[in-house]
Structure 1
Amino acid sequence: MSTPLPTLQDCELLDQHDPLRTLRDQFDLPSGVIYLDGNSLGVLPRATPARVAHTLTHEWGQDLIRSWNSAGWFSLPHRVGDKIARLIGAQAGEVVAADSTSINLYKVLAAALHIAAADAPHRKTILSERSNFPTDLYIAQALCQERGYALKLVEPEDIAAALQGDVAVLMLTHVNYRTGAMHDMAALSAQARAQGTLSVWDLAHSAGAVPVDLHAAGADFAVGCGYKYLNGGPGAPAFVWVRPQHTDRFWQPLSGWWGHAAPFDFTPDYQPAAGITRFQCGTQPILSLVALDCGLDSVLAADALGGMAALRRKSLALTGLFMQLVRARLHGYGLGLATPEQESRRGSQVSLTRTEGAYAIVQALIARGVIGDFRAGDGAAHPDILRFGLTPLYIGYADVWNAVEQLRQVMDSGEWRDSRFARRNAVT
């Protein structure tokens, strides 16, 4: 006998009994909006405006340059990094919040290639997934051209077989940005290590969304961003982690003064700081770091309610509900599921495919107050994606039911065919 399809009333009851429901109170969510794009930009925490305003008006406005010391600005990248460490299975002092994901990837990938060249100079390949996030591939392409390496791209199911003796570095995003499919970090890192290959992981769609344990997984390097599930605001600083045994083996290539062992000695020669500090470059953006600090507090507030394990349980329930409703209520509308059904392989998003009108459908939904986003495909093997992030901090079960109902109405009415929804914005 099939399980009855949940009703809106069923979902409202689930929300009433949700042990994490109070976490939503940390955010000011716009009225009339179901926000399913936290995997692109997290929601503003209520605490952030006052905290940033205090930094502006008091720390900068009154204490001026003294705040580098009196307000602890100089150590803020490390203090924020220590909070991130709690979400990714790292230790205090191993993570620094700095720069952007792309810049941090350049740092760690260059470091990995330097170590690989010293330990196994015959290895001349960086291996990655064909549908990895493009900026990661661009950075890898640039380093390959600069250093005489080859970038090999394969489908996700072919990664393990492609880990051969010529691979210097395995570079992957833990949760695929298009499909929401999650790699087995521990298995792939172990296989890479057994082959003498270093592993670099991008946690942009993992940190704050799924449990991550970098030490237990045996990863070598990791980077990630602060503006998605960490709620740090647009352009929030990213972060970088390096397995401690690697940190002091290499001067990362962007050897700026904040990575110097004694930056205020102002010596003309560079002497790298010990540990993760050397992965800083120039002066860090304090206002953005303050906002990220607040965003991290909004995620770490879940610790009192079961932490990442509790967030993960709710995330899987939300994504499972979304997929169940789409299968039942949108059958026959040409929508496919790109996100894996298997819970262990699923991030915190649901991605739908469609060969026609995917962008316009998303725009029609946004006009109705259901905000997701669109990611372009490149053919039958990788079709266009309608992408919906389900952040358990502030999304409820009734939100999911109502979002799918709005999608059903968009498809049933055909309103997505209106020409105004086909006009492409700069950001999709």
Structure 2
Amino acid sequence: MSDLATDTTAAYAAALDAADPLAAHRSEFVGADTSLVYFDGNSLGRPLAVTGERLRAFVEEEWGGRLIRGWDERWYDLPLTLGDEIARVSLGAAPGQTTVGDSTTVLLYKLIRAAVDARPGRSEIVIDSDNFPTDRYIVEGIAAERGLTVRWIEVDRAAGVTLEQVRGAVGERTAVVVLSQVAYRSSHLADVETITPVVQDAGALMVWDLCHSAGSVPVELDRWGVDLAVGCTYKYLNGGPGSPAFAYVAQRHLDGSAGGPALQQPIQGWMGHADPFLMGPGYQPSGGVRRFISGTPAVVGMLAMQDMLALLERTGIDAVRAKSQALTSYAVDLADVWLVEHGVTLASPRDPALRGGHVTLHHERMREVTAALWERDVIPDYRDPGGLRIGLSPLSTSYAEVHAGMSAIRDLLSGT
């Protein structure tokens, strides 16, 4: 237990907010000035107030004013220009390797299938047993489709995949390994920098899911030598419900400099063609990361995240990470003082350096507690078995909000 737990008063939470260098940004988010406690920013981030004006201007000026001309003027290249912006601000990646479009599920399918096809003669896909359902389902589907075997890494649900487990799972039969940088249930932060070369040394390709890390923890895809990555934009990038995901493909896999042919994606749509407006009889993939675009991109869905990327650039990801670690540590400290006596256990790594932007608290009553909290305008989410997940988006969450929410959990467990 840290020193923070020695003072559990609301006044102390207010003092933490007063000393927080990022506190002023909270007022930039819609609804942050209300009494509602939002513990689900790791599922859907709050919108920024300026985004309303961006959406209005788009409808009246770009869509309404420019109409079909918008494609020539900006929209056609938006998946790539916005991809480069995401890469620069939150992925540690050079231009030309990231594109925006499709859902996380579809992009995972594209990259995993492309990676499998780039490793002919290899028969296994490796994934951990507690990865997000979409990742596991996609892997199982591709394995069935291509006649492969899924090798499961069994993990502790309160922790996550370790380097030693990956080293023991990969070998000459491994085609692809699929892991999440931040585990969706426990918030365990995988060591991308050390795991990736172990996979590559086995001759396999590494696919990282960044859904719970992009915009929350520092990511250095180029420096870490990552092959492929996918992430969503509606959590810490605040793109709004259903905003399109992003895909990263390292340049060496786009130009064939990795020692094999360039990766080819399996969903051949007109927007990924080398000359989409030729509309010819056969498919010729575009050069670069554009080849991973399939159909018409969701332009409206790409608008909101641009405001969050601008804010992230102003604040810097290191400052965001520091606030994230402080917020989750504060929640853990309050849980130690208030909730342990009611039988609550921490289902996340205790060391803040080993977890992402959320913590999970375990108790057999957490399903009913979560439902009751929603009735009190305290909004966490629930994950079986018995996990109440507290997602603390650093730029929109205050220490006072954490204090109020944890107090409500304590009161429900104690019957008050």
Q: Distance in 2 between matches of 1:410 and 1:252?
A: 50
**8 Å Cα contact 2:123-2:175 kept in structure 1:** yes
**8 Å Cα contact 1:232-1:296 kept in structure 2:** no
**8 Å Cα contact 2:231-2:247 kept in structure 1:** yes
**8 Å Cα contact 1:42-1:230 kept in structure 2:** yes
Q: Which of residues 61, 67, 70 is equivalent to 2:70?
A: 67
Q: Which of residues 307, 313, 332 is equivalent to 1:300?
A: 313
User: 1:349 corresponds to which residue?
Assistant: 358
Give, in angstroms, the shift of residue 5 of structure 1. 3.0
> Which residue type is aligned with residue 199 of structure 2?
A
> Aligned to 2:295, what secondary structure does the other structure show?
coil
Q: Distance in 1 between matches of 2:2 and 2:98?
A: 48
**8 Å Cα contact 1:45-1:298 kept in structure 2:** no
Q: Which range moved further: 53-62 or 360-369?
A: 53-62
Q: Which of residues 257, 263, 280 is equivalent to 2:293?
A: 280
Q: Distance in 1 between matches of 2:99 and 2:323?
A: 29
Give, in angstroms, the shift of residue 215 of structure 1. 1.4
**8 Å Cα contact 2:328-2:352 kept in structure 1:** no
Q: Distance in 1 between matches of 2:368 and 2:389?
A: 13
Please say if 1:168 is aligned against 2:175: yes
User: 2:27 corresponds to which residue?
Assistant: 25
1:145-175 Cα deviation digits (max 9, x unpaired): 1111111112234333212332111100110
Please say if 1:362 is aligned against 2:370: yes
User: 1:422 corresponds to which residue?
Assistant: none
Please say if 1:88 is aligned against 2:95: no
In structure 2, the CA distance between the partners of 1:404 and 1:2, relative to structure 1 (3 Å rule), is closer
> Which residue type is aligned with residue 264 of structure 2?
W
1:177-205 Cα deviation digits (max 9, x unpaired): 01111110111101111211210000000
Q: Distance in 2 between matches of 1:159 and 1:93?
A: 30
Give, in angstroms, the shift of residue 272 of structure 1. 0.8
User: 2:217 corresponds to which residue?
Assistant: 210
- Residues 29-48 of structure 1 mapped to structure 2, 5 A cutoff: 29=31, 31-48=34-51
User: 2:272 corresponds to which residue?
Assistant: 259
1:314-368 Cα deviation digits (max 9, x unpaired): 11111111101101111221211111012221000010112x2221101111222
Give, in angstroms, the shift of residue 250 of structure 1. 2.7
Give, in angstroms, the shift of residue 107 of structure 1. 0.7
- Residues 265-414 of structure 1 mapped to structure 2, 5 A cutoff: 265-302=278-315, 307-354=316-363, 356-377=364-385, 384-413=386-415
Give, in angstroms, the shift of residue 66 of structure 1. 1.2
Q: Distance in 1 between matches of 2:238 and 2:314?
A: 13
Q: Distance in 2 between matches of 1:108 and 1:42?
A: 26
Q: Which range moved further: 97-106 or 162-171?
A: 162-171
In structure 2, the CA distance between the partners of 1:2 and 1:292, relative to structure 1 (3 Å rule), is closer
Q: Distance in 1 between matches of 2:132 and 2:244?
A: 18
Give, in angstroms, the shift of residue 142 of structure 1. 1.0
- Residues 220-231 of structure 1 mapped to structure 2, 5 A cutoff: 220-231=227-238
> Which residue type is aligned with residue 376 of structure 1?
D
**8 Å Cα contact 1:96-1:280 kept in structure 2:** yes
- Residues 80-159 of structure 1 mapped to structure 2, 5 A cutoff: 80-86=82-88, 87-117=90-120, 121=121, 123-154=122-153, 155=155, 156-157=161-162, 158-159=165-166
Give, in angstroms, the shift of residue 211 of structure 1. 0.4
Give, in angstroms, the shift of residue 6 of structure 1. 4.2
| TM-score for both structures, normalised by structure 1 | 0.90
Give, in angstroms, the shift of residue 54 of structure 1. 1.5
**8 Å Cα contact 1:256-1:281 kept in structure 2:** yes
Q: Distance in 2 between matches of 1:389 and 1:298?
A: 19
Q: Distance in 2 between matches of 1:196 and 1:7?
A: 54
| TM-score for both structures, normalised by structure 2 | 0.92
User: 2:78 corresponds to which residue?
Assistant: 76
User: 1:197 corresponds to which residue?
Assistant: 204
Q: Distance in 2 between matches of 1:410 and 1:298?
A: 36
1:39-98 Cα deviation digits (max 9, x unpaired): 10010111112111221122222221111123x111111121112102011112211111
Q: Distance in 1 between matches of 2:317 and 2:308?
A: 15
Unaligned 5+ segments in structure 2 are: 156-160, 256-261
Q: Distance in 2 between matches of 1:135 and 1:2?
A: 36
Q: Which range moved further: 53-62 or 228-237?
A: 53-62
Give, in angstroms, the shift of residue 25 of structure 1. 2.3
- CA RMSD in angstroms comes to 1.5
Give, in angstroms, the shift of residue 401 of structure 1. 1.5
Give, in angstroms, the shift of residue 2 of structure 1. 7.9
In structure 2, the CA distance between the partners of 1:181 and 1:125, relative to structure 1 (3 Å rule), is same
Q: How many equivalent residue pairs?
A: 398
Give, in angstroms, the shift of residue 106 of structure 1. 0.6
